[in-house]
């Protein structure tokens, strides 16, 4: 029983690691928006000398792959580190965190008030153990925060 559960757990983590690798790989590919845009300007250019307006305006374009920095999840419970409930060093809030796992394996905590601090006691392994499957791909950091309710 225990062995079976451990294996399922390991398989889940393996699957998640593969998914993450896939996401990193996708992050290095052009975003779908770029492809659509390239296609649009290619077909608009064919058979007409019309100047293709810059659409969408540069400011509204999906961010480039350099913006893909990591994963994030919401952590509404108090976060216990080394047996103590962790509180934001700036404002003292102790629940409703956003937890970020960055590509360099560092983990950052953001409190509801927007204070962000790296938490050296946590790492990517901890994040993977505690996060659910990756189910959303956010074009921007702010979009991710909004999606998570911050």
| Residues forming the site for Zn ion (CB under 5 A) | 88, 90-91, 111, 113, 115
Query: What's the CA gap between 18 and 13, in Å, rounded?
Result: 9
- 101 in Cβ contact with 124 (< 8 Å): yes
Six-digit token pair at 120? Answer: 């050296």
Question: Could you tell me the smallest distance in angstroms from the CB atom of residue 93 to Zn ion?
Answer: 5
Residue (19 or 117) nearer to Zn ion, CB = 117
Question: Could you tell me the smallest distance in angstroms from the CB atom of residue 90 to Zn ion?
Answer: 4
Residue (120 or 133) nearer to Zn ion, CB = 120
Residue (42 or 81) nearer to Zn ion, CB = 81
Q: How many residues does the structure list for the chain?
A: 150
Question: Could you tell me the smallest distance in angstroms from the CB atom of residue 116 to Zn ion?
Answer: 9
Helix (H) or strand (E) holding 43, with range, is: helix 32-45
- 23 in Cβ contact with 134 (< 8 Å): yes
Residue (37 or 100) nearer to Zn ion, CB = 100
Question: Could you tell me the smallest distance in angstroms from the CB atom of residue 150 to Zn ion?
Answer: 12
Helix (H) or strand (E) holding 107, with range, is: strand 106-110
Query: What's the CA gap between 71 and 59, in Å, rounded?
Result: 24
């Amino acid at each position: 029983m225990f062995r079976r559960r451990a294996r399922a757990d390991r398989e889940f983590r393996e699957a998640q690691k593969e998914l993450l690798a896939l996401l990193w790989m996708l992050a290095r590919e052009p975003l779908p928006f770029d492809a659509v845009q390239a296609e649009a300007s290619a077909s608009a250019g064919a058979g007409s000398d019309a100047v293709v307006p810059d659409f969408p305006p540069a400011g509204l374009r999906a961010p480039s792959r350099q913006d893909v920095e990591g994963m994030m999840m919401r952590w509404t419970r108090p976060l216990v580190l080394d047996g103590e409930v962790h509180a934001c060093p700036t404002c003292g809030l102790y629940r409703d965190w956003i937890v970020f796992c960055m590509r360099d394996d560092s983990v950052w905590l953001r409190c509801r008030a927007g204070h962000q601090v790296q938490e050296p006691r946590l790492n990517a392994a901890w994040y993977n153990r505690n996060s659910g499957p990756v189910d959303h791909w956010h074009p921007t950091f702010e979009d991710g925060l909004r999606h998570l309710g911050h």
